[in-house]
């Protein structure tokens, strides 16, 4: 078994899968209001198992990085199809960005021609006939009157085939130590462009397996990694492990997800109390992208 910073790395792979992705830039008069819009728009977007999309704040933007010269946030959204992604993004921009004081919304991704989603072009009807269309540098924008002025939104947004479901599990001695290691991994991954961690704080406590004893339930608790079930199930926990946290992340391409896996593992294994790193997969049946933890050592260590 390989080791990283004296921590055992299981010879397994994380199983990831294709998703359609888009980037939404939200600006406002202050970074505070941009954060509010971004946090609200990406809420309840942890997993497409139960949400309409997976989403998160990629990073904050300075005024020099945005189309209208105001501070903002970059948001990434992932869905299983362009149609599903468009519905989710339009709903979230309508309810959480349009409604937020002083905001504007812009496309942040140059995707494949013809593979776009319409956001401003759908939301324009809120203007009730008073909306105005402007074509600047080949891009169409919609201006809709609001009670504090107007809401500006780009017409169409680019999409790409991203990768969802990148993951690894941190097995530690205590809950506090394992959580600290997971937090360190989240901090490291958030430094990378093109990746988000959609779960609360970037960390998953309720890792799941496919299926359940209850009919109709798609997923249930990953009992093999639950410390309280050791002795009652076929446990995968080594001796001395009393807590497990999982990191799940989505990226705009496979290379980004692989980099996030490595940087996250590297940060986690530098923390005390971490006993082992492994990854979640379903025998290769869930997705075509198999990220072997052992292969990440090549060219990285």
DSSP string, 185-252: HHHHHTTSTTEE--SGGG-BSS-EEE--SSTT-SEEE-GGG-GGGBTTB---PPTT--EEEEEEEEES
Q: What is the mean pLDDT of residues 147-158?
A: 98
Q: State the average pLDDT over residues 188-204.
A: 98
| Cα 153 from Cα 141, distance rounded (Å) | 6
pLDDT at 301: 65
For 105-121, what is the mean pLDDT?
92
- The domains located in the chain, with CATH, are 2-15+164-297 (3.30.70.520), 18-160 (3.30.70.520)
List 117's β-bridge partners, or say none.
157
CA distance 170 to 104: 39
Burial of 224 from C-beta contacts in 10 A (0-12 / 13-18 / 19+): middle
pLDDT band at 115 (very low <50, low <70, confident <90, very high): very high
What does the alpha-carbon distance between residue 257 and residue 140 come to, in Å, rounded to a whole number?
Answer: 32
Which ranges of the chain does DSSP label H, i.e. alpha helix? 31-41, 82-92, 120-123, 175-189, 254-269
Q: What does pLDDT average to over the chain?
A: 96
Does residue 286 have a pLDDT over 90?
no
Tally: H helices and E strands in the chain: 5, 18
**Rounded distance between C-alpha atoms, residue 301 and residue 298, angstroms:** 7
pLDDT-based confidence at residue 114 (cuts at 50, 70, 90): confident
158-167, 197-206, 278-287: least confident range:
278-287
pLDDT for 125: 97
Q: Check pLDDT > 70 for residue 180.
A: yes
Residue 113: what pLDDT? 76
Residue 281's φ and ψ, nearest 5 degrees, are -150, 170
**pLDDT band of 1, cuts 50, 70, 90:** confident
Rounded to two decimals, the pTM is 0.96
Q: What per-residue confidence (pLDDT) applies to 112?
A: 77
pLDDT at 138 over 80: yes
CA 266/CA 144 separation, integer angstroms: 47
Closest residue by Cα to residue 46 from 163, 192, 203, 177: 203
Q: Which is more confident, 255 or 110?
A: 255
More confident residue, 63 or 231: 63
Provide the pLDDT for residue 111: 75
For 23-65, what is each residue's pLDDT tens digit?
999 999 999 999 999 999 999 999 998 999 999 999 999 999 9
Give the residue-averaged pLDDT of 118-129: 97
How would residue 285 be classed by pLDDT, with cut points 50, 70 and 90? confident
| Residue 265 C-beta-side C-alpha neighbours within 13 Å | 33
Q: pLDDT confidence of 80, banded at 50, 70, 90?
A: very high
CA 108 to chain centre: 16
Token pair recorded at residue 81: 């199809």
Query: 3-class DSSP state for residue 173?
Result: coil
Q: What percent of the chain has pLDDT over 70?
A: 100
Largest CA distance in the chain: 67
């Amino acid at each position: 078994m390989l080791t990283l910073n004296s921590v055992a790395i299981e010879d397994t792979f994380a199983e990831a899968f294709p998703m359609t992705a888009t980037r939404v830039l939200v600006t406002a008069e202050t970074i505070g209001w941009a954060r509010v819009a971004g946090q609200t728009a990406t809420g309840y977007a942890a997993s497409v198992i139960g949400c309409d999309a997976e989403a998160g704040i990629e990073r904050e933007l300075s005024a020099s990085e945005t189309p209208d010269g105001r501070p903002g946030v970059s948001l990434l959204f992932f869905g299983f199809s362009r149609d599903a992604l468009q519905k989710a993004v339009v709903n979230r921009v309508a309810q959480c960005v349009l409604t937020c004081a002083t905001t504007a919304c812009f496309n942040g991704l140059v995707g494949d021609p013809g593979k776009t989603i319409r956001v401003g072009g759908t939301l324009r009807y809120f203007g009730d006939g008073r909306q105005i269309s402007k074509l600047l540098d080949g891009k169409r924008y919609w201006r809709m009157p609001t009670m504090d002025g107007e809401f500006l939104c780009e017409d169409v947004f680019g999409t790409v085939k991203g990768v969802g479901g990148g993951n690894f599990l941190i097995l530690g001695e205590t809950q506090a130590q394992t959580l600290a290691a997971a937090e360190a991994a989240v901090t490291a991954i958030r430094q990378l462009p093109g990746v988000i961690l959609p779960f609360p704080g970037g960390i998953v406590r309720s890792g799941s397996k496919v299926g359940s004893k209850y009919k109709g339930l798609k997923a249930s608790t990953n009992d093999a990694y639950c410390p309280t079930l050791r002795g009652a199930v076929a446990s995968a926990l080594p001796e001395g492990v009393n807590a497990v946290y999982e990191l799940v992340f989505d990226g705009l391409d496979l290379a980004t997800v692989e980099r996030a896996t490595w940087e996250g593992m590297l940060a986690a294994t530098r923390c005390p109390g971490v006993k082992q790193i492994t990854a979640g997969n379903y025998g290769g049946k869930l997705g075509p992208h198999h990220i072997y933890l052992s292969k990440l050592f090549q060219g990285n260590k």
